[in-house]
């Protein structure tokens, strides 16, 4: 497994913005939302095992996937509220992939789902 540190290439994360997510979904474009928090050690493991993976970084870019970093560090943050109220998830880490041809979003809550995510991104 290659990591971004080897090439220096990283994911261009956008801040959580519900309007931006909705507009991309309505336009038929894929959106990946990484729910995370500064205090979450498991989230840091996900970053190393999944999001530092060069294949994932390249696929997100080549498939024009909007990558959203949904920071839930603060209780009142929009991403924190969305995690519970929109996505019905109790806590982080959670990754959600919204695909135009799927009614329900794909979700990952485990620490290493790089192979599954890579497979889904390749199929876009």
Domain that holds residue 89: 28-122
Query: pLDDT tens digits for 102-121?
Result: 889 999 999 999 999 999 99
Number of domains in the chain: 1
* Residue 84's CATH number: 3.40.30.10
User: Binning pLDDT at 50, 70 and 90, where does residue 100 land?
Assistant: confident
Domain assignment present for residue 7? The answer is: no
Q: In this structure, is residue 2 part of a structural domain?
A: no
8 assigned to some structural domain: no
Q: Kindly state whether residue 99 falls inside one of the protein's structural domains.
A: yes
Residue pLDDT, tens place only, 25-57: 999 999 999 999 999 999 999 999 999 999 999
Asked if residue 4 is part of any domain, the answer here is no
Identify the H or E element spanning 68: strand 66-71
Q: How far apart are the C-alpha atoms of 108 and 45, rounded to whole Å?
A: 14
Q: What is the pTM for the complete model shown?
A: 0.92
User: Is 20 a domain residue?
Assistant: no
Return mean pLDDT, the chain: 93
Whether 5 is covered by a domain: the verdict is: no
Kindly give the interhelix angle for 114-122 and 54-62, rounded to the nearest 10 degrees.
30
pLDDT over 70 at 1, yes or no = no
Does the residue 96 lie in any domain? yes
């Amino acid at each position: 497994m290659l990591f971004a540190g080897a090439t220096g290439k990283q994911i261009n994360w956008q801040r959580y913005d519900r309007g931006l997510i909705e507009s991309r979904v309505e336009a038929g474009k894929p959106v990946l939302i990484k729910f995370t928090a500064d205090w979450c050690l498991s989230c840091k493991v996900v970053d190393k095992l999944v999001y530092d993976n060069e294949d994932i970084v390249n696929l997100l870019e080549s498939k024009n996937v909007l990558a959203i970093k949904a920071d839930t560090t603060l209780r009142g943050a929009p991403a924190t509220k969305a995690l519970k109220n929109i996505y019905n998830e109790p806590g982080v880490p959670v990754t959600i992939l919204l695909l135009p041809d799927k009614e329900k979003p794909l979700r990952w809550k485990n620490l290493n789902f790089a192979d599954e995510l890579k497979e889904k991104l390749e199929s876009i």
